[in-house]
Amino acid sequence: MSEEFKTTHKGKVTDFTRERKLNFVTTLNIMLKKSSKSLQNTLNDAKEKLLTFSQKTYESVSAGAYTKARAKLNYTAFIELYRLVREQFYEDGDYHRFKGFRLLAVDGSKVILPESDNIKATFTSTIAKNQMEDFSKEVVQARASVLYDVLNNIVIDATLEDKAKGERVLAISHLQHTNENDLIVFDRGYPSIELFSYIFSSSAEFLVRIRRNSFKQVAFLFAPHCSQDDITIEVKAPKKIKETLLKNNLPTTMQIRFVRVVLDNDAVEVLATSVLNHTVLQTSDFKNLYHKRWGIETFFHILKNRLSLENFTGNTALAVQQDFYITMFLSNYESLLVYDTNIALTEKTETYKNAQKVNKSISFNTIKQKSFELFYGNQNIDTVLEEMQKLFQTTPTAIRPNRPNRKRLDKDKNKSTIHTNSANFYKRKKKVI
């Protein structure tokens, strides 16, 4: 790890200047594990790793000493790390595309934070009300927003802000990280003339699901027996935002294509896109194309459940930001390392009933267990990676396309099964790494 990296991302110039057990690299490596174990058990495990890779004698590190050490390390270190992995993934140009587009999605999610005065000074708290007044409580929340490559499972940009900041504002901030031939897919909570205008002024394209009342000119497309399914109209900015758009040199008149899609259950959805060329994207492409947005929903499921995002390892705003961006790094690094293995498993499809992919429980656990070997030890990096690739291929997961969703048991009016669902979730789905 370069001295420039250390200097850039430590809190003060004087931090990590003295020779201590918890130097910059050691502290960063322990943090990357983001273990669900107790803090002291995590530190004890780190001690064993340090004894293996160093000639020095290490005594046990106290939780207090570790807390002081991590407070000297800025969360920007992990932003740079996940972006470095992102750049490394795309540098050879060999990655999955949809008809020439890098297929991106934007989504946000509220994240529950620890309740402390330090965190409340940065993030807004609200009262979670209950029918029984005595059970109402104060909850601190942040808003996570992510620009995500749904075909390659790569975080392009991520931010954790106060929940008072809107999803559209955060979506606009992601646009600086887009390129030509990027197609960004949004759900129906995002459409706005302002957002469309910002995207038109960038080099990216967009695809967004709209509500019935979003654009009166195309409301007829929602009709069950509408004869038209693909039209392009001119959309003008309303007076109340036109002046603001002009001040920012943004377009106020745009040509937008609206496509009618009939789902398998006969429900009608209408999608809006900036891709006007019918040769580039045909009408028949849009149903499958929008379905691929589900990849970002799966990503948030992995963040909150597999990687236990909300199981924060500290009670300060700095610790929250550190944990959030560590999770982004772990996600990107896992996607980079398993990419070739997933291709190899896919090529074995003829041997199995279904195609297979790397089991994320195995891959994330392997990365955490090998973090010291990768970033601290003197072992040959190629040897470590080869060992990891072998582990990735153990117990792969089957890919079952068009798998129907099982009906939630608690929706059955004749049964009271909410507790059963909760138990099943923790037993079968919530596999903490």
CB 58 within 8 A of CB 18: no
Looking at residue 409, its pLDDT comes to 46
Please indicate, yes or no, whether residues 56 and 96 belong to a single structural domain of this protein. no
Long-range Cβ pairs for the range 42-47 (8 Å, 24+): 46/372
Residues 150 and 45 in one domain: no
Flag whether 98 is in a domain. Answer: yes
Residues 53 and 89 in one domain: no
Q: How far apart are CA 72 and CA 68, in angstroms?
A: 7
Q: Between vectors from CA 132 to CA 131 and to CA 137, what angle results, nearest 5°?
A: 95
Report d(CA 347, CA 320) in Å as an integer.
40
Residues 275 and 388 in one domain: no
Q: How far lies 345's CA from each of 13, 88, 162, 402, in Å?
A: 48, 22, 41, 20
pLDDT tens digits for the chain (433 residues)?
788 988 999 888 888 888 777 888 888 888 888 777 777 777 777 777 666 666 566 667 788 888 899 999 999 999 999 999 999 999 999 999 999 999 999 999 999 999 899 999 999 888 777 666 666 788 899 999 999 999 999 999 999 999 999 999 999 999 999 999 999 999 999 999 999 999 999 999 999 999 998 899 999 999 988 999 999 999 999 999 999 999 999 999 999 999 999 988 888 999 999 999 999 999 999 999 999 999 999 999 999 988 889 999 899 999 999 999 999 999 999 999 999 888 888 877 666 677 888 888 889 888 888 887 777 666 788 888 888 888 888 888 887 766 665 555 445 555 555 555 555 555 555 555 5
Q: pTM score > 0.75 for this model?
A: yes
Which residue type is seen at 244? T
Q: Among 38, 53, 70, where does a domain finish?
A: 70
Domain enclosing residue 372, as ranges:
325-429
Cα separations in angstroms, 148 against 69, 105, 122, 207, 351: 32, 5, 26, 14, 32
For residue 286, what pLDDT is reported?
95
The CATH number given to whatever domain includes residue 95 is 3.90.350
With respect to residue 247, please indicate whether it lies within any of the assigned structural domains: yes
* Residue 316 domain flag: no
The first and second tokens of residue 329, run together, are: 């790094």
pLDDT attached to residue 142? 95
Do residues 267 and 398 both lie within one domain?
no
The answer to the question of residue 304 being in a domain is no
**Residues 355, 424 within the same domain:** yes
Domain assignment of residue 308, yes or no: no
Backbone phi, then psi, for 273, in 5-degree steps? Answer: -145, 155
Query: CB–CB of 231/218 below 8 Å?
Result: yes
Residues 112, 139 within the same domain = yes
Which residue, of 14, 41, 70, is where some domain finishes? 70
Same domain, 14 and 44: yes
Residues 268 and 147 in one domain: yes
Q: Tokens standing for 324?
A: 């959030």
Kindly state whether residue 260 falls inside one of the protein's structural domains. Answer: yes
Q: Are residues 118 and 201 in the same domain?
A: yes
Please give the C-alpha separations between residue 120 and each of 160, 161, 266, 314, in angstroms, as whole numbers.
Answer: 14, 12, 46, 14
When divided into structural domains, the chain yields a total of: 3
Q: What's the CA gap between 304 and 120, in Å, rounded?
A: 21
Residue 324 pLDDT: 96
Same domain? For 63 and 82 the reply is: no
**Whether residue 139 is found in the same domain as residue 190:** yes
H/E element holding 67?
helix 63-70
Distance between CA atoms of 242 and 172, rounded to whole angstroms? Answer: 17
Q: Is residue 42 part of a domain?
A: yes
Last residue of a domain, one of 40, 70, 100: 70
Whether 318 is in a domain gets the answer: no
Residue 386 in tokens: 């080869």
